[in-house]
Chains A and B, each alone.
Chain A
Amino acid sequence: MPNLFILTLQLAVVLAVCRVVGELFRRIHQPRVVGEMFAGIMLGPSLLGWLAPGVEAYLFPPSSLGFLNALSQVGIIVFMFLVGLGINPKELKKQGHAAVLTSHVSITAPFVLAAFLALYLYPRLSDDSVSFSSFALFMGAAMSITAFPVLARILAERNMLGSRLGTVAIACAAVDDVTGWCILAYIVVLIRAEHSSTSIWMTVGGIAVFALAMIHGVRRLLRGFERVYREKGGLSENLMALMVLLVLASSLLTEYLGIHLLFGAFLMGAIMPKEHRFVRYILDRFETITVTLLLPLFFAFTGLRTNIGLVKGPQMWLYCGLIILVAAVGKLGGSTLASWLSGMPIREAAGLGTLMNTRGLMELVILNIGLDIGVISPALFSMMVVMALFTTFMTTPLLRMICAKELDASSEMILSKAGNAAVELSDVA
């Protein structure tokens, strides 16, 4: 049984710290979610545990972390469903060659550079329980991800959602996330297969059948939700409960099949109908509790697992610096180069590269999975969290520097992209 007093105290402290730090970050023109990520780190061994170990030990005793984790995972399941809901593959098609090339390069460039860096890091930060392939592929997937919701939030706050830069960035980020999650699913299967008696081909086959059934079968049935919404202007509580049940069932199936709960939630969101008002309606019902309560718990749980103290000595900080450099060069440089070669003006291309370099919350989700399955070590996890914070934090000031003119122009623009699902997802972040 959880100690309800401690659990309630944890909820209160996490909520208060996340709100305060989030607000402080807003004042320095950063998205609130970046502040909340920092707040999570502050509550962990990196700051609170370092300054006041007694307070941290009282607030977050090891025996209570299981309950905190369970609550935060429920939040992430809902969040991944909402991320999937906001992704609309049709957006990419509208953008043409430039977006296709940029999105693919923004995955391959950081991926290959990360794999190259893995040659150096594997003997230093991993061990023989993890194969090099798993390690390198995970590093690649973790570095090639873009935080679609945080990106949407930054664009919304800068009034750039309707600009060409904004729409291309959103489309590319959506492709990056879908690709990144597919690669991650493969890595999870690979690693779990090493510890399981079930053949990897059985697992892959099961997942393929599940994905096909979802995309070609369940997707059609889900249109019923939208139809009811159109006819009645809303969904009954029973239908909302059914939707939640479907998300949970999908999550459980992917977990059973050997990947992760979150893939099922993401896939269920991705195959939901994408009509703007329907998406808005669903988001309205889920996002408040997710954003205000459950996501801060995830940040706190991530912060409790992040120990910057493990990154000690100049050598470890060199590794951390290399990770940040490779992540930024791969993502920012790769996206900039590809969009510039596709005909975008260099300033706009650099702006797109900067936006694609935003990793934020999605990176934390992936890193937590990596730590859970043992593919990354605690020190590497901490370094990657630092990288995620750094690359997310640098986006807004860099964007202001590079795209000052575009920002001025877009602030005067009336946003005509009300139908863009990213508008809604910006609230989620």
Chain B
Amino acid sequence: MSHTNRNFLIAYILLVGIPLVALVGILRAGRSLPAPISIDGVWKLEAVSQGPPAQPCGKFAADLSNSSLSISQSGKSLALAFGNALKSSSSGWLEGTSLNASVSPADTASACDGEVMITSVVDPKTEPRSLEGSITIKDCASCRPILFHAVRQARHSTGGTR
């Protein structure tokens, strides 16, 4: 083997061979890494208890609890978009199986100028995944929370809904 070829071989092993071995190690080490549970996709919400629809925020919250919810997930960070006529969006946060989000209806046609809070818990064992939670109106002591149940709709065939 010539001097040039030997140097090439050494450089190749150092710069290509060893990193590839390291890659195998990284892939093995990563297998045990936990990731947030997946809640990405479109959810169908259904109210299981009535709230106070007489107030503007109550009406808004009731509409939310019977709409479709599209969740775009990036790890623990969530972007939520409500369907139907609401066209309202918000951001939320996932901690373990708990989802927390606040929706401000200020930009919508609703007369509600308060803040609507959504808290729910994901059941990771059911397939399709489901949510149980409540919608509360912030700064309204007399308003009862609206309880809701949501089921994730089937994903697209491409393998993801993002």
Contacts and interface: CB of A to CB of B under 8 A. Distances in A.
A335 to B, nearest CB: 11
B26 A127 contact: no
A174 interface: no
Interface residues of A, number: 50
A375 B40 CA distance: 12
27 contacts: A97-B4, A101-B8, A101-B15, A105-B15, A109-B15, A111-B19, A111-B23, A112-B22, A115-B30, A122-B30, A123-B36, A126-B35, A127-B73, A129-B160, A132-B27, A133-B31, A310-B74, A310-B77, A337-B15, A341-B15, A342-B11, A372-B159, A373-B160, A374-B40, A376-B162, A378-B72, A378-B162
Interface of A: 97, 101, 104-105, 108-109, 111-112, 115-116, 118-119, 122-130, 132-133, 135-137, 140, 191-192, 194-195, 307, 310, 316, 334, 337-338, 341-342, 371-381
Nearest to B10: A341
Contact of A97 (B8, B16, B159): B8
Interface string B69-112: 00011111101000000000000000000000000000000000
Chain A binding surface SS class: helix
Given A123-B34, A310-B79, A112 B8 contact: no
A320 B73 CA distance: 17
A119 B35 contact: no
Given A105-B15, A375-B160, 9 more contacts: A104-B12, A118-B30, A124-B75, A126-B36, A126-B75, A127-B37, A137-B27, A341-B15, A378-B79
Nearest to A116: B26
Classify chain B's interface size: 35 or more
Contact of B40 (A101, A116, A129): A129
B33 A132 contact: yes
Given A115-B23, A310-B77, A128 B159 contact: no
Given A127-B38, A374-B161, A119 B29 contact: yes
B140 interface: no
Contact of A127 (B4, B5, B27, B75): B75
B158 interface: yes
B27 A104 contact: no
